[in-house]
């Protein structure tokens, strides 16, 4: 008695996995629509909260207060721009807030020592880039999880900032005054910095090869590697860019406060993750837009300003901020689960079709008994 071996799937067989699609230009319109679907319900709440706050205090929607709100979220927006690249690329950095504080303290000490503005800016950006280089090399070549690595960096940078400042803000008599209090065409300098950063970041993310590679890396690291893209180098560049923006945000924050406060960036790590995810970025990578990130920043800023105008105690403000983070993670996790279920259903359907196509000829083939019936 002989057994018939099951047919093997050839490269052209439906049972074989389809070749990975080449990484092309991401569909900006589709991804932006997805981000807006995530943010629009929150925008409705924000508009309602803004109108209610303005009814209690007519100064809320004034031009001066709107400038204040944008100035307050400028540092958060700059940090979120860098974090958007990391999350889309499948990475994460929890040390950006403490790094911004450390850069601010170092810059304040340098101004006190008589350094020039250019020297302080160059040193601060170089410090941030160096930190990003270290993070990128460790993550890319040693496969250390970025969450654990940067969580340790958060504690290290926060401690260094406290040590260098003797646990007190370092005053800045003069230095980068125009960064914190200057205006260009009637717009405050921090807002100008925010607009320039998000515009440049948006162009790089959505209109360049670097951005397309970032999307591909977050979607499938293995496929990106098989496509001949230097994955490790790209991971290093993502961390360098993110930490450099964190250092720049630290300089802007120091200029706004006119001091190097070692605790100025405390809590910004969670806020950055919250607004980025609120804007549609996936914690699993491969999805996000700069437009969505900006909307997430605005949502967070308006809510914080409304709570302040309504004289809500600070403890409750932290409660609301934490609730936003929980909501953001829940929404993105649900979206990722839906995508995963859709992909799983598609693969299961393909397998069923392949099995049916390979077995139907065997079922339809007449047996010897059917062909030669007994007399």
Q: What is the DSSP string of 222-234?
A: HHHHHTT--HHHH
Residue by residue, pLDDT tens for the chain (375 residues) are: 444 444 444 444 444 444 444 444 444 455 555 555 666 766 776 788 788 888 888 888 888 888 899 999 999 999 999 999 999 999 999 999 999 999 999 999 999 999 999 999 999 999 999 999 999 999 999 999 999 999 999 999 999 999 999 999 999 977 788 888 888 888 999 999 999 999 999 999 999 999 999 999 999 989 989 988 999 999 999 999 999 999 999 999 999 999 999 999 988 988 899 889 888 888 888 988 898 899 889 888 888 888 888 888 877 887 876 777 677 667 766 766 776 676 556 555 655 665 565 555 555 555 555 555 555
What's the full length of the chain, in residues?
375
Torsion sign over Cα 36, 238, 101, 149: positive
What was the pLDDT predicted at 3? 45
What was the pLDDT predicted at 12? 42
204 by Cβ neighbours in 10 Å (0-12 / 13-18 / 19+) ranks as middle
The model scores a pTM over 0.85: no
Distance from C-alpha of 171 to C-alpha of 157, rounded to nearest angstrom = 19
Distance from C-alpha of 115 to C-alpha of 153, rounded to nearest angstrom = 27
Torsion sign over Cα 312, 313, 318, 322: negative
Distance from C-alpha of 300 to C-alpha of 53, rounded to nearest angstrom = 15
Tokens of 20: 């990975």
CA 301 to chain centroid, in Å, comes to: 17
Q: Which residue has the tokens 């929607």?
A: 61
Closest CA to 102 of 273, 271, 268, 314: 268
Tokens of 90: 């499948």
Do residues 289 and 278 make contact, with C-beta atoms less than 8 angstroms apart?
Answer: no
Other residues' Cβ atoms within 10 Å of the Cβ of residue 219: 21
47 by Cβ neighbours in 10 Å (0-12 / 13-18 / 19+) ranks as exposed
Distance from C-alpha of 308 to C-alpha of 317, rounded to nearest angstrom = 8
CA 353 to chain centroid, in Å, comes to: 39
Closest CA to 132 of 99, 160, 171, 106: 99
């Amino acid at each position: 008695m002989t057994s018939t071996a099951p047919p093997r799937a050839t490269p052209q067989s439906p049972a074989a996995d389809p070749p990975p699609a080449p990484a092309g230009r991401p569909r900006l319109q589709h991804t932006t629509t997805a981000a807006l679907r995530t943010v629009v319900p929150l925008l409705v709440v924000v508009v309602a909260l803004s109108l209610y706050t303005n009814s209690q205090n007519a100064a809320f929607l004034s031009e001066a207060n709107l400038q204040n709100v944008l100035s307050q979220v400028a540092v958060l927006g700059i940090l979120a721009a860098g974090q958007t690249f990391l999350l889309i690329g499948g990475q994460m950095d929890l040390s950006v807030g403490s790094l911004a504080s450390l850069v601010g303290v170092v810059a304040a000490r340098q101004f006190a020592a008589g350094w020039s503005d250019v020297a302080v800016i160059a040193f601060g950006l170089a410090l941030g880039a160096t930190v990003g280089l270290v993070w990128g090399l460790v993550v890319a070549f040693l496969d250390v999880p970025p969450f654990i690595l940067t969580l340790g960096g958060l504690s290290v940078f926060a401690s260094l900032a406290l040590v260098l400042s003797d646990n007190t803000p370092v005053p800045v008599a003069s230095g980068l005054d125009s960064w914190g209090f200057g205006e260009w065409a009637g717009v405050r300098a921090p807002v100008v910095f925010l607009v320039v950063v998000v515009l440049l970041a948006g162009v790089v993310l959505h209109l360049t090869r670097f951005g397309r590679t970032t999307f591909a890396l977050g979607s499938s690291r293995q496929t990106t590697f098989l496509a001949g893209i230097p994955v490790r180098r790209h991971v290093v560049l993502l961390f360098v860019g993110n930490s450099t923006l964190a250092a720049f945000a630290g300089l802007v924050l120091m200029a706004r406060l006119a001091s190097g406060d070692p605790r100025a960036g405390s809590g910004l790590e969670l806020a950055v993750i919250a607004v980025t995810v609120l804007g549609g970025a996936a914690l699993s990578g491969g999805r996000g837009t700069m437009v969505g990130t900006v909307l997430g920043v605005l949502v967070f800023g308006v809510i914080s300003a409304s709570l302040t105008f309504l004289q809500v105690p600070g403890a409750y403000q932290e409660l609301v901020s934490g609730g936003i983070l929980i909501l953001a993670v829940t929404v993105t996790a649900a979206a990722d689960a839906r995508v995963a279920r859709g992909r799983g259903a598609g693969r299961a359907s393909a397998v069923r079709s392949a099995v049916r196509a390979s077995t139907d000829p065997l079922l339809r083939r007449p047996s010897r008994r059917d062909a030669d019936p007994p007399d």
